[in-house]
Amino acid sequence: MRIGIDTMGGDNAPRVTTEGVKLAAQVLPEDAGCYLFGDDEVVTPLAAELGAKFHPVVCRNHILMGDEPAKAYGSKKESSMVKGFEYLATGQIDAFCSAGNSGAVMVGATAVIGLVKGVVRPCI
């Protein structure tokens, strides 16, 4: 399993997200890998510290908690969240998680994964 993590998403990112990645590294199954999406100065040293199962994906910006979701998702194509969903859409990762802007996560998930038949809009 290849898991993507938005290291820049959340109120206290990247400090809290990188702490979470380090904890996950201790219990990650042998056949799993993590793709770390975020700023170069965050993801590159983190991946180097954690080893070969961790892959940095350098992103130019990130979606802020106060950004308008649809507008931010559409305009910040080089953000950690949008890049993560792009990797998911193209099969480069099997799962993606972000603690970032909930509305933008819903926009991305709906665009990439879609809705269950009969569901008109997603819920949190």
Mapping DSSP onto H, E and C, the string for 71-87 reads HHHHHCCCEHHHHHHHH
The two tokens of residue 104 are: 């933008």
Structure confidence by residue, pLDDT tens digits, 8-34? 999 999 999 999 999 999 999 999 999
pTM of the model: 0.94
Q: Answer whether residue 120 shows pLDDT above 90.
A: no
Give residue 121's pLDDT: 82
| C-beta of residue 80 within 8 angstroms of C-beta of residue 6 | yes
Q: What are the residues facing 96 on neighbouring strands?
A: 4
Alpha-helical (H) ranges within 35-101 are: 40-50, 69-75, 80-89
- 60-117 per-position pLDDT tens digit: 999 999 999 999 999 999 999 999 999 999 999 999 999 999 999 999 999 988 998 9
